[in-house]
Amino acid sequence: MVRVILVFLLLLPGVSIEAQAPPLEDFFRHAEFSNMVISPAGEYLAVTVPEDDRTGVAVLDVRNFPDIKLLSKFSPDREEHLGGLFWATSDRLLMTSSRREGALASPFPTGKIYATDADGSKRRLLYDPFGTGVMVLRVLDIIHRLPEDKDHVLVVERTHDREKPVAKRLNIRSSSKPRMVSASPLSRGELGTDRAGNVVFASGVNDNFEAEFAWREHPKSDWKFFDNPFEGTIDFEGFSADRGHIYVSSRDQANMGLYRVPVGGGMPEPVLRDERFEVLNVLRDRDGETIIGALFNAPRPELRFIDPEHPTARLIRSLMHSVPDYNLFVTSYSDDLKKAIVYLYSDQEPGVYMLLDTGTMALNELVSVRQWVRAEQMSEMRPVSFTTRDGVELVGFLTVPNDVAAEQLPLVVEVHGGPHGPFDSWQWQGWVQAMASRGYAVLQINFRGSGGYGQQFEESGYTRWGDAMQDDLTDGVRWAIEQGIADPQRICISGASYGGYAAMMSVIREPDLYRCAFAFAGVYDLELAKTEGNIARRLGFGGAYLDTALGTDAEKLKAHSPVHHVDRIKAELFIAHGAVDEQAHYNQFHALIAALDKAGVAHEKLFVSGEGHGFYKPENNVELYGRALKLFDRTIGPDRPTKLGDRH
In three-state form (DSSP H/G/I as H, E/B as E, the rest C), the secondary structure along 105-123 is CCCEEEEEEEEEECCCCCC
Angstrom distance (rounded) from CA 539 to CA 213:
23
Q: Is 212 helix (H, G, I), strand (E, B) or coil?
A: strand
pLDDT recorded at residue 205: 78
Pick the more confident residue, 178 or 244.
Answer: 178
Dump pLDDT digits (tens) for 52-103.
788 999 999 999 998 999 999 998 888 888 988 999 999 999 999 888 776 7
Which helix (H) or strand (E) covers residue 482, if one does?
A: helix 468-482
Angstrom distance (rounded) from CA 572 to CA 564:
18
Dump pLDDT digits (tens) for 100-142.
776 776 677 888 899 999 999 999 999 887 765 555 567 788 8
Angstrom distance (rounded) from CA 171 to CA 151:
6
Percentage of the chain beyond pLDDT 90 is 63
Angstrom distance (rounded) from CA 607 to CA 615:
11
CA distances from 584 to 346, 450, 466, 535, 604 (A): 31, 18, 17, 9, 19
Bond preceding residue 301 cis, omega within 30 of 0: no
Q: Are 495 and 417 in contact (CB under 8 A)?
A: yes
Angstrom distance (rounded) from CA 471 to CA 468:
5
Dump pLDDT digits (tens) for 468-512.
999 999 999 999 999 999 999 999 999 999 999 999 999 999 999
Angstrom distance (rounded) from CA 619 to CA 171:
42
Nearest to 349 by CA among 1, 19, 31: 31
Residues in the chain: 648
**Mean pLDDT in residue range 164-190:** 90
- Partners of 303 in beta bridges: 295
Confidence of residue 566 (pLDDT cuts 50, 70, 90): very high
Per the confidence metrics, is the pTM higher than 0.85?
A: yes
Instruction: Give the least confident one: 68-77, 383-392, 435-444, 508-517.
Output: 68-77
Nearest to 305 by CA among 297, 26, 133, 314: 314
Q: Is 628 helix (H, G, I), strand (E, B) or coil?
A: helix
pLDDT recorded at residue 110: 84
Q: Are 47 and 60 in contact (CB under 8 A)?
A: yes
Angstrom distance (rounded) from CA 420 to CA 417:
8
DSSP tag of 286: T
pLDDT at 424 over 60: yes
CA distances from 473 to 190, 469, 470 (A): 36, 7, 5
**Mean pLDDT in residue range 370-387:** 96
Q: Is 595 helix (H, G, I), strand (E, B) or coil?
A: helix
Nearest to 251 by CA among 49, 79, 457, 461: 457
Angstrom distance (rounded) from CA 331 to CA 509:
45
Nearest to 558 by CA among 529, 598, 586: 529
Dump pLDDT digits (tens) for 302-333.
999 999 999 999 999 999 988 889 999 898 99
Confidence of residue 239 (pLDDT cuts 50, 70, 90): confident
Q: Are 436 and 27 in contact (CB under 8 A)?
A: no
CA 589 to chain centre: 25
Nearest to 528 by CA among 584, 603, 574, 567: 584
Angstrom distance (rounded) from CA 219 to CA 201:
10
Kindly list the structural domains of the chain, giving each domain's residue range(s) and its CATH number in brackets, ordered by start: 382-536+568-646 (3.40.50.1820)
Angstrom distance (rounded) from CA 84 to CA 37:
10
What backbone phi and psi angles, to 5 degrees, belong to 448? -60, 140
CA distances from 356 to 281, 312, 578 (A): 21, 13, 42
pLDDT at 287 over 50: yes
Angstrom distance (rounded) from CA 637 to CA 648:
23
Q: Is 287 helix (H, G, I), strand (E, B) or coil?
A: coil
Angstrom distance (rounded) from CA 398 to CA 385:
10
* Rg of the chain on CA atoms, in Å: 25
Please name the residues in contact with 585: beta carbons below 8 A apart, sequence gap of 6 or more: 528, 529, 532, 533
DSSP tag of 369: T
What number of other Cβ atoms are within 10 A of residue 416's Cβ?
A: 22
pLDDT recorded at residue 7: 36
Pick the more confident residue, 27 or 331.
Answer: 27
Q: Mark residue 32 as left, alpha or beta (left: phi above 0; alpha: psi -120 to 50; beta: remaining).
A: alpha
**Mean pLDDT in residue range 615-626:** 94
Angstrom distance (rounded) from CA 191 to CA 173:
24
CA 322 to chain centre: 26
